[in-house]
Structure 1
Amino acid sequence: MATLLLALLTILYVASAWAQESGEPSALDKANATIGAVLFFDIAFGGIQIDEVDRDGNPVLDASGNPKTKVISVPFLVIVLLLGAIFFTLWYRWINVRGFKHSIDIIRGKYDNPEDTGEISHFRALTSALSATVGLGNIAGVAIAIQLGGPGAVFWMLVAAMFGMTAKFSSCTLSQMYRQTNRDGSISGGPMYYVDIGLRQMGGGWATLGKVLAVMYALLVMGGAIGAGNMFQVNQTAEAFRSTFGLSEGANWIIGIVIAILVGAVIIGGIKRIGAATSKIVPAMCGLYVCVSILIILMNVTKIPEAIGLIFSMAFTGNAFYGGFFGVLVWGIKRSSFSNEAGLGSAAIAHAAAKTEEPVREGLVAMIGPFIDTIIVCFMTAMVVIITGAWNDPSLSQSDGITLTTQAFASAISWFPLVLTISIGLFAYSTMISWGYYGERGWIYLLDHFGGIGLKSVIVFRLIFVIFILVGAVYPLRAVLDFSDAMVLGMAFPNIIGSVILAPRILGKVRDYWSRYQSGEMEPVE
């Protein structure tokens, strides 16, 4: 089944490339439209309509001179992600707020025990997960949200991230509760395991539902890893380097080969090597990007109050140019979910390998991910884009996020785009090595159903993953990547359903852990 999925991706790529040359919509384009109709259908059914206006607030008229209107779509999957995050936050009694300080202490190693079951420390589990989420979405995605939703979208990104912290807490606690130790001592975990094992333990029809959701998730995470977590990353990195350094198209091959070697050297070594690499790369890349962003912000310090004022005032705007209130809200939530992956369950695969006997403890570590990813890194991008005025530049086309962010950096100091390009390379590389691990866990889960050959054959997936890096570097992949992005977002559906069903089991663990923590029973390591 897993091999068939990879073969399908190859066929889809060839079909897409042929369609681009012929000018005809491919079968993949039609598939994307179908997937979009299912996952992103408008739950308001076109009921939210506003009058269109231009940038100056003047009505946009049609050929008859009547005011034009546009429909504001409220996508089904975006609302599922938001409602799921709100449910988890209320259900676990705002653990994202009351457990914040304790989670920092855990990450600092105060509760580490080398004798606990697992492969990597709490800190390395966090950096492995962050390496997958802190990526191009933090650079291009934020800019797109501001272009299409206005500065007010940033406010809703931050709000969604706060609730998203608890969604990540939920999935990563479950990944520890239902993880599996393989014969070689490695750990496998994540949504495909906890929805399968957890619902099976409930008996009856729950077992069948759990198996269906688990297989669905494993297929989706493999497809997402090959496309969005691999080909898209290397494709955009190659384009960024070519643009910045004026390289020819032939350079894509060289860039692809170099990245393939670097990624292969890490992912073939498994989660221990991934954790070792990301524990150095993630702090460095986040530090570099945040420091440069802060420098630009400080160079425009007098504009900070105005920028923050725009974020808050336009969060509740009725400005039809940015889609009115609902348009701003949806764009903020959508880009937050795309950025930190809260609710998708992917980070739970990395956190399952952490050394701990306390599932709740790892959930507390994991919830810091959206805080770093969105509330810190994305907010830095947003402030640079707003404070430099690049967000309101009519010469830039919509949905051209990388260009917008590059222009914002260049407006401060001409050579700053070089720093941005280096950041893009680091972000993409770290994303690829973590998504390679996510995809191989899906492979192992699926093929273990056929005589337990998943672990034995995982090297096949790793090699295929590396090969697709070259594919992504040198070919146009728009339709394939749309398909892959849909698969990544589709992961939220089986994950949230399973997590909600299993939520009562987590709550019992949370109450037990928190009472022991508050009573002083847990002594930190000095």
Structure 2
Amino acid sequence: MNKKLLSLLFLMMPVIMFAQSTTDKIDQLFKDYTGWFVEAIFYEIPFSDSFKIPWVLIVLIGGAIYFTIYFKFINITGFITAFKVVKGKYEDIEKHGVDKLYGDKTSGPDILTTLRDDGVEGEVSHFQALTAALSATVGLGNIAGVAVALSIGGPGATFWMIVAGLFGMASKFAECTLGVKYRDVDEDGTVYGGPMYYLTKGLKEKGAGGLGKVLAVLFAIFVVGGSFGGGNMFQANQAAAQFTKLFNLTGGNAGLYFGLVMAVLVAVVIIGGIKRIASVTEKVVPFMAGIYVLAALIILFANFSLIDDAFLLIYDGAFSGLGVAGGLVGVMIQGIRRGAFSNEAGVGSAAIAHSAVRTKYPASEGIVALLEPFIDTVIICTMTALVIIITNFDGEFMEYGVEIKQGVEITAVAFDTVIPHFSIVLTIAVILFAFSTMISWSYYGMQGWVFLFGKGKYTDLAYKVLFLIFVVIGASISLGAVIDFSDAMIFAMVVPNIIGVVMLSPVIKKELKRYMNAINKKKEAIEDGAVDVNDHL
């Protein structure tokens, strides 16, 4: 299949060359026929003459607050448990079930002979599922998006960005629990999951099967469109632009060649499905995020005396506005919007990756998933913001309240002020971020594609070929309205997803209680000394 994919990709070169030569026409065509959709999704509800709030942002944040309260602040109470689950502390009960291991204390270790052959559905570990999902969210938004948010909303936007990340943890918990609960597993072990499945199955159980089917189809269409655009073309486009700029590559074909190389690399990974995607992301994501955070920490330690001043600016700006456009409300909107859009909590995309995890307890993966917004927004986005604020105290390269267009360049300047030529490393990070985002979104899109057109070898092949073609097109043409449309597709996913998750909240609470009871049962058995935990690992 590898040769078929690559052969078909190169056979499509004439189409790609045509697209490259007719960029403006493609852009205008998209604008003419999809402008109404973009405007509808990002329509801003006017609350006064001075500020407006996109309705999709209200849905995202409203859902996050609802889930936080309904699940009794799971974003706080489940935080430590999440790390324990990722480390594999409860892997035995997730694989075999707590009743089989710890239910009958008189059986002791004799049951191990039967447990060795007892498997569990799923394709990847908790850590792999987490990194696969993180690879789709940690990306250009953390590097460029933060700089754009600060340019509009000032330092105070950082505070509200963090708030959005903390509330978003509850949304991720809810949707990823459902992703595992209602997934489909083929005879060969391949997992199909995500909002499409919990919308159809879950709402059918609630007596709303018709609504569930409509919402599932809408979500599948949106996720396919989003995978081709924001999850693919935009990533390839920005990575190619940063690469060609750094090395002063000129000529109309520079982006094309870059796109071809990127497409080949993406093809090698996505052909192997979620298992290969997870095996790559579990190495790439920690590596690239680690380098980026390490560089940020170096800058922060080098300017240690200024950190408290930076936090003071963030706090003052969060509640005063510091004179930026829209004042206090404007700052809140920018911070919350960037935080929500960066970690994709409530969008439903992450539930697709997390549904492939190996576990008997759906809530175990929901608890793991709540770490995503914390890592993506609370840690990485905040690191970027602090670096920019500290290195820009004198307003040398950014004026707050004046929107910038190229966020990557601003972030690069901020890092270069302390670590000379770090922009080279940042370019590598951008390319790796883009690469990891593309391979994860290819999986998201294919799950939607399969839901719409059925499972099969040729169905998979058709989607993968299209995805690879769009990688090349994205890197070699100017996007404009194409990206506006694809972004709208991604955030349109919020509507059917939030509706379904809210309706299925009682199911999530039941699964959470079942998993916590299992953990407690294991603890009690070990404390009583009736079993030796080492016998079950």
Deviation at 1:305, TM superposition (A): 1.0
1:91 pairs with 2:70: yes
* Residue 472 to residue 336, structure 1, CA distance change in 2 (3 Å): same
* Residue 303 to residue 31, structure 1, CA distance change in 2 (3 Å): farther
Deviation at 1:109, TM superposition (A): 1.7
Aligned counterpart in structure 1 of residue 307 of structure 2, from 304, 308, 321 = 304
**Comparing 148-157 and 111-120, the one that deviates more:** 111-120
Q: How does 1:164-179 map to 2 (within 5 A)?
A: 164-179=168-183
Deviation at 1:96, TM superposition (A): 1.3
Q: What is the rounded CA distance, in whole Å, between the counterparts of 1:436 and 1:361 in structure 2?
A: 25
Aligned counterpart in structure 1 of residue 501 of structure 2, from 493, 499, 503 = 499
Q: What is the rounded CA distance, in whole Å, between the counterparts of 1:408 and 1:125 in structure 2?
A: 33
Question: Contact 1:16–1:28 at 8 Å: present in 2 too?
Answer: no
Question: Contact 2:175–2:501 at 8 Å: present in 1 too?
Answer: yes
Question: Contact 1:144–1:399 at 8 Å: present in 2 too?
Answer: yes
Q: How does 1:181-192 map to 2 (within 5 A)?
A: 181-192=185-196
1:325 pairs with 2:328: yes
Deviation at 1:17, TM superposition (A): 7.8
Match of 2:12 in 1: none
Aligned counterpart in structure 2 of residue 245 of structure 1, from 247, 253, 261 = 247
Aligned AA (2:243) = F
CA deviations 1:125-177 (Å, max 9, x no partner) are 00100010011011001111111111111100101111100100000000011
Deviation at 1:42, TM superposition (A): 2.7
Deviation at 1:340, TM superposition (A): 0.6
Match of 2:8 in 1: none
Cα RMSD over matched residues? 2.3
CA deviations 1:192-247 (Å, max 9, x no partner) are 110111111222xx111100100000000000001111111111101111111222
Match of 1:120 in 2: 124
Gaps of 5+ in 1: 1-10, 50-70
Match of 1:40 in 2: 42
* Residue 75 to residue 124, structure 1, CA distance change in 2 (3 Å): same
Bigger relative contact order, structure 1 or 2 (CA pairs below 8 A, ≥6 apart): 2
Aligned AA (2:141) = G
Question: Contact 2:156–2:321 at 8 Å: present in 1 too?
Answer: no
1:475 pairs with 2:454: no
Gaps of 5+ in 2: 1-14, 96-118, 527-532
Aligned AA (1:426) = L
Q: What is the rounded CA distance, in whole Å, between the counterparts of 1:473 and 1:144 in structure 2?
A: 22
Match of 1:72 in 2: 51
Q: How does 1:444-459 map to 2 (within 5 A)?
A: 444-448=450-454, 453-454=455-456, 456-459=458-461
Q: How does 1:42-441 map to 2 (within 5 A)?
A: 42-43=44-45, 45=46, 47-49=47-49, 71-113=50-92, 115-203=119-207, 206-249=208-251, 250-389=253-392, 392=395, 393-394=397-398, 398-441=404-447
CA deviations 1:459-491 (Å, max 9, x no partner) are 210111111111111111111011000100111
Match of 1:7 in 2: none
Question: Contact 1:192–1:218 at 8 Å: present in 2 too?
Answer: yes
Q: What is the rounded CA distance, in whole Å, between the counterparts of 1:522 and 1:274 in structure 2?
A: 38
Q: What is the rounded CA distance, in whole Å, between the counterparts of 1:248 and 1:133 in structure 2?
A: 31
Question: Contact 1:223–1:484 at 8 Å: present in 2 too?
Answer: yes
Question: Contact 1:178–1:198 at 8 Å: present in 2 too?
Answer: yes
SS of match in other structure, 2:360: coil
**Comparing 134-143 and 244-253, the one that deviates more:** 244-253
Q: What is the rounded CA distance, in whole Å, between the counterparts of 1:116 and 1:162 in structure 2?
A: 32
Q: What is the rounded CA distance, in whole Å, between the counterparts of 2:63 and 2:404 in structure 1?
A: 30
1:461 pairs with 2:440: no
Match of 1:8 in 2: none
SS of match in other structure, 1:247: coil
Deviation at 1:455, TM superposition (A): 5.5
Deviation at 1:14, TM superposition (A): 8.4
Q: What is the rounded CA distance, in whole Å, between the counterparts of 2:172 and 2:234 in structure 1?
A: 24
Deviation at 1:320, TM superposition (A): 4.2
SS of match in other structure, 2:358: coil
Deviation at 1:287, TM superposition (A): 0.5
Match of 1:68 in 2: none
Question: Contact 2:240–2:258 at 8 Å: present in 1 too?
Answer: yes
**Comparing 424-433 and 395-404, the one that deviates more:** 395-404
Q: What is the rounded CA distance, in whole Å, between the counterparts of 1:235 and 1:32 in structure 2?
A: 20
Query: Structure 2 length as normaliser, TM-score?
Result: 0.86
Deviation at 1:518, TM superposition (A): 3.3
Q: What is the rounded CA distance, in whole Å, between the counterparts of 2:33 and 2:158 in structure 1?
A: 32
Match of 2:106 in 1: none
Match of 1:52 in 2: none
SS of match in other structure, 1:493: helix
Question: Contact 1:131–1:282 at 8 Å: present in 2 too?
Answer: yes
Deviation at 1:21, TM superposition (A): 5.9
Q: What is the rounded CA distance, in whole Å, between the counterparts of 2:271 and 2:516 in structure 1?
A: 38
Match of 2:6 in 1: none
Aligned AA (1:108) = K
Deviation at 1:390, TM superposition (A): 7.4
Aligned AA (1:48) = S
Q: What is the rounded CA distance, in whole Å, between the counterparts of 2:226 and 2:261 in structure 1?
A: 22
Identity of aligned residues (%): 46
Deviation at 1:512, TM superposition (A): 2.7
Q: What is the rounded CA distance, in whole Å, between the counterparts of 1:187 and 1:152 in structure 2?
A: 42
SS of match in other structure, 2:483: helix
Count of residues paired in the alignment: 485
Match of 1:53 in 2: none
Q: What is the rounded CA distance, in whole Å, between the counterparts of 1:347 and 1:437 in structure 2?
A: 11
* Residue 193 to residue 521, structure 1, CA distance change in 2 (3 Å): farther
